[in-house]
Structure 1
Amino acid sequence: MPQEAHISVNERTFIQDAIKEQVRLDGRAFDAFRALELTFGDEYGVADVQLGKTRVIARISVHVVTPAPERKFDGVFQIITEFSPMASPAFEVGRPTNAEVVLSRILEKAIRRSNALDTESLCIIAGLKCFALRADVHVIDHDGGLIDASCIAVMAALQHFRRPDVVVEGEKATVLSIRERDPIPLSILHQPLCVTFSYFEEGELFLVDANLAEEQVRSGEVIITMNRHGEVCQIAKYGGATVEPYALFNLTTLALQKVKEMSKFIQTRLDDDAKKRNASGLLSELSAENDRPFDKPVG
């Protein structure tokens, strides 16, 4: 089975010694993220996130299905992760790695189980028809920080997505095209985001947004999912080193600061994209007006 290329013993020792001296190899502070970039596709619901050299693309799709009998007033929402073999030698199609299992589990708890999306708003006709929403997460490049980057990608894609409008007449539902009526934004109840802390020296040192080399030498990790209002959605810990309660409290405080910064960043990118779309729409309308022939004067 393919495996990740492990770093050498000398490199491992060098990174650990540097961290003991409060130094990261890329020059970042312990509480600093790598450069974050977020772009959106031409169609609604496609978000491309780059966190350092890590790249994740999330795509939202929707279709109409029959709701589950026990949840007749709810729509369907699921998150699917896909690790591309070109992102890492350890990834192979059809054979999920431990990293993929952990990522799927964290995203499931962070977004779906925390009710970030109002699934009742996806109901069309109770017990008969509803929207089934699917978020596909594609890992393109892997250099650490997959959980944080993937959570940003999914939440940004959900906020960017527009579902088609429907007309209901009795038990008949007609899905309208974009030409017939403007699509509708999703009902997002809150915006949870993940912040991953890697710890070293048996839990004595913590740093934010570890790259792949730092992840390979860490003692463990703590993933904190919060929204910008300070509500904790989940705390997950992996690794054998212990974490003191007071240290965990400090991590939560730092996570809130980072979540507020990322939420503001996402909203800024969403606003920029909306302005571009409105501008292009206005230009199209003006172009159409100019293409129309002028009425000839009567006389």
Structure 2
Amino acid sequence: MKDTPLSNCERDFLLKAIEEKKRLDGRQTYDYRNIKITFGTDYGCCFVDLGKTRVMAQVSCELVAPKETRPNEGILFFNIELSPMASPAFEPGRQSELSVKLNRQLERCFRNSKCIDTESLCVVSGEKVWQIRVDVHTLNHDGNLMDAASIAAITALCHFRRPDVSIQGEEITVYTPEERDPIPLSIYHMPISVSFSFFQQGTYLLVDPCEREERVMDGYVNNTDNILY
């Protein structure tokens, strides 16, 4: 990532406003920005606007061999793309430290919470299972990508439908939507990430930081895993 540094005047102004419990967009300390969710034409396509931050999630699936250690369970795979279209700080064709961090955190959010019944994704034990892939694309970055990505991912998973299958002997038949109605995923609950940024060694705390607040924060804590960054 290549950040454009803030001037000392901008930094001092932001920190002074936070001390006075004021925010650039008029929110209170623990106010979240407005969330807007819209759906695409395909199953599992979802757009989330968190203030001016905008992401798109797309869920897809394919039949694969299961992991040797979990022969009766399907596979969840997450991928976050930070596009230069979303921010000039994101470089094309390069995996940044932020994208790796967001991917890992999103995986922990969903896998550790066991929100999806992965055993229901098994087709033939030890041979074929569904791999569910969630691709999250950033369309505009104005802070708190993790929360926007988690909302988009779980909403897209709830909206997604996988093809129905049948098994006759060793033959697996995958049906088109015209032949049989697609099947929703078995989802137990909806894990939602909530991020807080802290300033001046934890003296001040803000929920749902915007991009400029993130640039002057000391770090942040997230409710999904309680790990500080």
Q: Given the two structures, how large is their TM-score scaled by the length of structure 2? A: 0.96
Larger RCO (CA within 8 A; separation ≥ 6):
2
Task: Please give the per-residue CA displacement for 1:248-267, whole angstroms capped at 9, x wherever unaligned.
Answer: xxxxxxxxxxxxxxxxxxxx
Alpha-carbon distance between aligned partners in 1 of 2:127 and 2:221, rounded to the nearest angstrom: 42
1:206 aligned partner, one-letter code: L
| Number of matched pairs | 229
Alpha-carbon distance between aligned partners in 2 of 1:21 and 1:207, rounded to the nearest angstrom: 12
1:130 paired to 2:121: no
The question of whether the paired residues in 2 share the 8 Å contact of 1:125 and 1:171 is answered with no
Alpha-carbon distance between aligned partners in 1 of 2:7 and 2:116, rounded to the nearest angstrom: 44
Task: Please give the per-residue CA displacement for 1:74-113, whole angstroms capped at 9, x wherever unaligned.
Answer: 1121001111111112212332222212211110110123
Alpha-carbon distance between aligned partners in 2 of 1:20 and 1:29, rounded to the nearest angstrom: 12
1:183 aligned partner, one-letter code: P
| Identity across matched positions, percent | 48
Residue number in structure 1 paired with 2:17: 18
Alpha-carbon distance between aligned partners in 2 of 1:199 and 1:16, rounded to the nearest angstrom: 11
2:60 partner SS = strand
Alpha-carbon distance between aligned partners in 2 of 1:101 and 1:215, rounded to the nearest angstrom: 18
The counterpart of 2:228, out of the listed 228, 237, 249, is 237
1:148 aligned partner, one-letter code: D
2:130 partner SS = strand
Alpha-carbon distance between aligned partners in 2 of 1:217 and 1:128, rounded to the nearest angstrom: 50
Alpha-carbon distance between aligned partners in 2 of 1:170 and 1:235, rounded to the nearest angstrom: 48
2:150 partner SS = helix
Residue number in structure 1 paired with 2:99: 100
The question of whether the paired residues in 1 share the 8 Å contact of 2:116 and 2:187 is answered with yes
* Higher CA-based Rg: 1
State the Cα distance separating 1:68 from its structure 2 match.
Answer: 2.4
Matches within 5 A, 1:151-230: 151-225=150-224
Alpha-carbon distance between aligned partners in 2 of 1:9 and 1:21, rounded to the nearest angstrom: 18
The question of whether the paired residues in 2 share the 8 Å contact of 1:90 and 1:97 is answered with no
The question of whether the paired residues in 1 share the 8 Å contact of 2:164 and 2:175 is answered with yes
The question of whether the paired residues in 2 share the 8 Å contact of 1:116 and 1:190 is answered with yes
1:30 aligned partner, one-letter code: T
2:226 partner SS = strand
Alpha-carbon distance between aligned partners in 1 of 2:226 and 2:90, rounded to the nearest angstrom: 26
1:123 aligned partner, one-letter code: C
1:37 paired to 2:36: yes
Residue number in structure 1 paired with 2:51: 52
The question of whether the paired residues in 1 share the 8 Å contact of 2:66 and 2:126 is answered with yes
Residue number in structure 1 paired with 2:64: 65
Alpha-carbon distance between aligned partners in 2 of 1:68 and 1:20, rounded to the nearest angstrom: 51
Residue number in structure 2 paired with 1:260: none
Unaligned runs of 5+ residues in structure 1 are 226-233, 239-299
Q: Given the two structures, how large is their TM-score scaled by the length of structure 1? A: 0.74
Residue number in structure 2 paired with 1:115: 114
State the Cα distance separating 1:175 from its structure 2 match.
Answer: 0.7
The question of whether the paired residues in 2 share the 8 Å contact of 1:4 and 1:88 is answered with no
The question of whether the paired residues in 2 share the 8 Å contact of 1:40 and 1:48 is answered with yes
1:90 aligned partner, one-letter code: A
Alpha-carbon distance between aligned partners in 2 of 1:122 and 1:86, rounded to the nearest angstrom: 35
Alpha-carbon distance between aligned partners in 1 of 2:210 and 2:61, rounded to the nearest angstrom: 34
1:182 partner SS = coil
CA RMSD of aligned residues (A): 1.2
Task: Please give the per-residue CA displacement for 1:226-260, whole angstroms capped at 9, x wherever unaligned.
Answer: xxxxxxxx21111xxxxxxxxxxxxxxxxxxxxxx
